[in-house]
Structure 1
């Protein structure tokens, strides 16, 4: 059973991924996200980064659909989403696609491509996703635990923590750019 706190986090991410606001996550939501990311970063259609972006979101959708779409209707409902993350947190299965997705999100937040996420990267990426600068700054301070940069290794630990922890004070909770889930 997923706690209310964890459900709030998972639903925040679900709503973020539901780009068309339909109440379900579908492949078109992932394609909209890829289009948005490519446009924000100025990646020309057909460029290597553009292709990598679309290839990654398609791979993530295919894996997500496989493990999360319990009734095989081509959509992941909110209940299916929460159930999927509860199941994944208890198993080491499907780590490959989760690791690839994590690395992709890291790359999306490392706006200057230097191999680290600093507060400038985090705030810029977070505000492009609709967050406020103030929330993003506060979240980065909690996420980075006072460090000036987050490495990929750090980010992978924080990523896992976001999806599985029940501790409201765990640093990984702030990966979304939100300082709280109240």
Structure 2
């Protein structure tokens, strides 16, 4: 079993624990507060019903491989007893041991890097390599079990933040960044809180931007940017990092 460090800076924040508990419940198909091997088959059936994948399809086989590997890692790293079960406390201890050593998804083990890719494919039911607001809403209703009206409201707000209000498409690259914010973000700020769509810690009164300059630097930054474009030409935009916290005005 992973033993969590006593160093407070390496402990999960209350918000991280809340997010990871939602992730645990996502896999806990029976609602009995532990994960076991049988959950994989039941979880797969639920996913195939949602995605309409044939169990013999490439997508279904890749899904099975990713999640069987994930469960084996859970048992090896988090399981305290040889009883084929992983409890919520063991689950949190696993993440408490892994997350402090990962600065980004690229620093994480391969089995962990495959999880957001699998989740992206599940949500992208239209298979057009982008997630839209309707797909996000359906995911919240059918797999997260939100009520339709609440799911519609949260999907709209979540999609706005996940795309920076339409600035970026919600493609795999962007979704992986947002999943990284879900795992590593210690506070409610950031679009990662919408991965599963429902938390008590909501920030309803402010708009989050992926990058926001400090108030006293905004005008100077704009002037430098305009000057640079005039001299060099504009070559397009790149999705920024999601790790910066929203500035307070």
Counterpart-to-counterpart distance in 1, 2:33 and 2:22: 12
CA contact (8 A) 1:5 1:181 kept: no
CA distance in 2, matches of 1:145, 1:76: 37
Contact 1:56 1:100 in 2 (8 A): yes
State the Cα RMSD in Å: 1.9
Q: How far 1:167 moved relative to its partner?
A: 1.7
CA contact (8 A) 1:31 1:58 kept: no
- Give the aligned partner of residue 222 of structure 2: none
Please say if 1:143 is aligned against 2:153.
no
User: 5+ residue gaps in structure 1?
Assistant: none
Match of 2:114 in 1: 100
Structure 1 residues 94 and 66: alpha-carbon distance in aligned structure 2, compared to 1, 3 A threshold: farther
Larger deviation, residues 163-172 vs 145-154: 145-154
Aligned position for 1:56? 66
> Is structure 2 residue 36 aligned with structure 1 residue 36?
no
| Partner Cα distance (1:65, 1:181) in 2 | 30
- Partners of 1:164 and 1:124 lie apart in 2 by 26
SS in 1 for 2:127: coil
Gaps of 5+ in 2: 1-10, 202-249
Structure 1 residue ranges, 4+ long, deviating more than 6 angstroms after superposition: none
Q: CA deviation at 1:36?
A: 0.8
Larger Rg: 2
Larger relative helix fraction = 1
Q: Aligned equivalents of 2:108 and 2:98: distance in 1?
A: 8
Alpha-carbon distance in 1 for matches of 2:108, 2:86: 17
Confirm or deny that 1:173 pairs with 2:173: no
Matched, 1:81 2:91: yes
> Number of residues paired by the alignment?
181
How far did residue 110 of structure 1 move? 1.2
155-164 vs 39-48, greater mean Cα deviation: 39-48
State whether residues 140 and 177 of structure 1, in contact with CA within 8 Å, keep that contact through their aligned partners in structure 2. no
TM-score, normalised relative to structure 1 = 0.88
In the alignment, is the contact (CA less than 8 A) between 2:132 and 2:170 conserved in 1?
Answer: yes
**How many angstroms does 1:94 deviate by?**
5.3
